[in-house]
Structure 1
């Protein structure tokens, strides 16, 4: 076998998933956790409850037939599974097309204590650290092999599986660089709440960098190169720079010059790339943070790829991160009983990319392009795009266009899978349009008072695009605009210059005279209740916040404890509240009142 063939075989493996299949088919008796014993705990309750009396005959009648068909069809697979569990790898996707499996009717269990068949079968692969399944916190077998394959796929020197989402990765990176009390860290201000929590856990001093705001859309992206350069020069002792790319609208910029600035100063570049796990995997997608020189990158594999929810990865390159300390920090913030189904889904998601490469995105990109072509016939619903890309003119199916758009200082790349639309008549806010879409059976990712974010992925289909277009047609007919609608933000640069855009994202506060803040001290020491008062939001300006205010989604704090409350922030909270936004962190979830520090 030549080297290319060997490489292909390696990529086709899914070590963790195969180990779970082997365990399932080995039929070993469980004398270990978890307590559901491969789902066996529910078997005794099949047809047991009063509500199940009428269903019992249906269940028992089909169970015998399923058992007969399954035992016949799986005899060989069971033997393969035993072999796999003792170290031989099997590529046989067992029981995936078993016709007898359909005999388990979900109606049998609708009002029962017994879960549906699919859930019970998943329990058969929910294991713990036993012989053959390895240990996430000290990987030597299948987990180590799976992580090495992930590193190869995503261009890292070392990759770590995360079972607590990108939150676990963000926390561990910050706890790694904050290796002494009051470490200074340069931080993009509009970061996810997990980054603020990491600063608190690390007892850090954060120097906040104001993000660059796109003048056309009014949306915050990331700090400009000039802002980063100024921050690094002012605080050369900083332990690192932490940025988010892309933002929740799929907007981004080239990280390469920022990475160069950091490295010249001897500090690592840390990137929350939660929404960019697919970046760099297709020519129509923006470049990945790792390929631009980032040292530590966190990706939510479950968001834009094919893993289970909570499945994420942390990728590392270069010598600027203490990897032994990073492993210790990961062990601190991750469960000592990690979910094996989640890890197996990371393994399978990687294998899909490794085996099919760019082809894995063909169907999803075709769905996006079909939607954009259809959207051009509905001029009421406009598409948020960079100013130098004509509105409503997506590239024809199969035609590749560069993901980067030169000439836009802070916004040079757009994720094609993040489709951001708005009602150009102004009749429906973003929140209102989301509600209308949900009523038509289409559930968006998020919305703000103007925009709706529609998330496509490699799993999207042409049928998805058509249903979405049909929903928008229906919404248009049911929500006719007035004869003379008020004009909204234009899409041309000249319009933006003459009519400065309203800041419309859930986080978008241009507060400081300087783009680089003074160090802000974070700690875990709570603010005493006796030192706080509760005020109406409208009366809170000038006080310091005693709690976080986090519009969710996307989870970017408007306020953190101890931050001075400005009139701009008060107005922002009121606007979001009136538009129907949800909030985390704040005691009053409808955001009528806010806890503040008693002394101004």
Structure 2
């Protein structure tokens, strides 16, 4: 997210006589790309607007000089971290952090009490405390080894023909990129990230995230040098086996202006029926259809289904992608609202 995008959104609301209740940004992204939260914080606070950051993949940021700065250190008001994603707490454990005076901490506490269970899982809470203790023992050096391994892995992978590695030079507007995330492009080999992942999985190499053109790997506190060597070796084998193969690439979906006939709530309670893919064009979608990656809904309940959206879904599925939210995972039929 760039500061000019936030500024533009704030001004558009002001021109309509309205004010943003808050600004919500995801930083870092799944691939480790970080926004310049310090500048965005200053902008938001100049309008007395709180800045909330989904920092799910950034619980480790700030614990080494080579890592990007954490959200809180850049002046955001609320950051939410999935502590289990990079640190060592149990799955489903996370933390919410607050700073500054714009957000009412008592109000946040009341909201949490109305949403959370009165019977929390104490194993999850204990794992969060254990993770905090682990980091606090060596807060500035605990990531020395993972960072060394990540640098070594990238150096080895960059030497492999047909393989590319994402780096910070690609994003001029980004404040930085998490060096522990290794995004490997395989499109020059003529295969998708989904296909490459399936091939590597057979040899015990498992990627964190797959896409149409790439895969992403994560180096963490449990990664060893053997892991890095194996990753590089298997990617080299992949390169040699597919150097002359060419397949069609998935083209990015260019979104159009949404045509909402019903609100998602209205669509949820409306009677529905299943129709074939071809028959669904022009009808009102009755389910949340979300291709993964990127994990962003392409069609939501209440929205008119277009041929362009369906073609993209089919393309993603044919290349090994996963479509979440649909009742029929084969995409032979789609649930639509009966209007």
The corresponding residue for 1:230 is 8
CA contact (8 A) 1:248 1:554 kept: no
CA 1:249–1:536 in structure 2 vs 1: closer, same or farther (change >3 Å)? farther
Distance of 1:555 and 1:487 partners within structure 2 = 22
The corresponding residue for 2:320 is 580
CA 1:384–1:538 in structure 2 vs 1: closer, same or farther (change >3 Å)? farther
Per-residue deviation, 1:590: 2.6
CA contact (8 A) 1:365 1:458 kept: no
Distance of 2:137 and 2:216 partners within structure 1 = 30
1:194-216 deviation per Cα after TM superposition (whole angstroms, max 9, x unaligned): xxxxxxxxxxxxxxxxxxxxxxx
Distance of 2:44 and 2:284 partners within structure 1 = 32
Structure 2 matches for 1:365-514, cutoff 5 A? 365-387=147-169, 408-409=172-173, 411-477=174-240, 479-482=241-244, 502-503=251-252, 509-512=254-257
CA contact (8 A) 2:191 2:247 kept: no
The corresponding residue for 1:160 is none
Equivalent of residue 276 in structure 1, options 40, 58, 66 = 58
Per-residue deviation, 1:521: 9.2
Unaligned 5+ segments in structure 2 are none
The corresponding residue for 1:361 is 143
Alignment of 1:316 onto 2:78: no
Alignment of 1:595 onto 2:338: no
CA contact (8 A) 1:582 1:590 kept: no
The corresponding residue for 1:214 is none
Distance of 2:137 and 2:304 partners within structure 1 = 51
1:422-465 deviation per Cα after TM superposition (whole angstroms, max 9, x unaligned): 22433321001101111111111110111111111232221210
Distance of 2:185 and 2:165 partners within structure 1 = 7
Per-residue deviation, 1:550: 2.1
CA contact (8 A) 1:362 1:458 kept: no
Structure 2 matches for 1:110-125, cutoff 5 A? none
Equivalent of residue 551 in structure 1, options 287, 291, 312 = 291
1:142-174 deviation per Cα after TM superposition (whole angstroms, max 9, x unaligned): xxxxxxxxxxxxxxxxxxxxxxxxxxxxxxxxx
Count of aligned pairs: 335
The corresponding residue for 2:134 is 352
CA 1:509–1:276 in structure 2 vs 1: closer, same or farther (change >3 Å)? farther
Per-residue deviation, 1:253: 2.0
Distance of 1:270 and 1:522 partners within structure 2 = 26
1:69-98 deviation per Cα after TM superposition (whole angstroms, max 9, x unaligned): xxxxxxxxxxxxxxxxxxxxxxxxxxxxxx
The corresponding residue for 1:335 is 117
TM-score under structure 2 length normalisation = 0.88
CA contact (8 A) 2:190 2:247 kept: no
The corresponding residue for 1:298 is 80
Per-residue deviation, 1:266: 1.8
CA 1:267–1:539 in structure 2 vs 1: closer, same or farther (change >3 Å)? farther
Secondary structure in structure 2 of the residue aligned to 1:467: helix
Distance of 1:327 and 1:240 partners within structure 2 = 18
Unaligned 5+ segments in structure 1 are 1-221, 389-404, 489-500
Secondary structure in structure 1 of the residue aligned to 2:207: coil
Distance of 1:595 and 1:445 partners within structure 2 = 31
Alignment of 1:527 onto 2:232: no
Distance of 1:438 and 1:306 partners within structure 2 = 24
CA contact (8 A) 2:260 2:302 kept: no
Per-residue deviation, 1:242: 1.4
Segments of 4+ in structure 1 off by > 4 A?
A: 485-488, 517-526
Distance of 1:582 and 1:557 partners within structure 2 = 12
Distance of 2:268 and 2:97 partners within structure 1 = 35
CA contact (8 A) 1:551 1:558 kept: yes
1:476-515 deviation per Cα after TM superposition (whole angstroms, max 9, x unaligned): 34x23228x5898xxxxxxxxxxxx942xxxx64434xxx
Secondary structure in structure 2 of the residue aligned to 1:594: strand
The corresponding residue for 1:496 is none
TM-score under structure 1 length normalisation = 0.52
Per-residue deviation, 1:328: 2.4
1:107-137 deviation per Cα after TM superposition (whole angstroms, max 9, x unaligned): xxxxxxxxxxxxxxxxxxxxxxxxxxxxxxx
Equivalent of residue 562 in structure 1, options 297, 302, 315 = 302
CA contact (8 A) 1:548 1:586 kept: yes
CA 1:320–1:564 in structure 2 vs 1: closer, same or farther (change >3 Å)? farther
1:48-78 deviation per Cα after TM superposition (whole angstroms, max 9, x unaligned): xxxxxxxxxxxxxxxxxxxxxxxxxxxxxxx
Equivalent of residue 243 in structure 1, options 21, 25, 44 = 25
Per-residue deviation, 1:535: 3.2
Per-residue deviation, 1:335: 2.5
Distance of 1:521 and 1:292 partners within structure 2 = 40
The corresponding residue for 1:260 is 42
1:322-379 deviation per Cα after TM superposition (whole angstroms, max 9, x unaligned): 3223222222332222121211111111122222012110111111111112113312
Per-residue deviation, 1:554: 5.3
Distance of 1:520 and 1:255 partners within structure 2 = 36
**Structural RMSD (CA):** 2.8
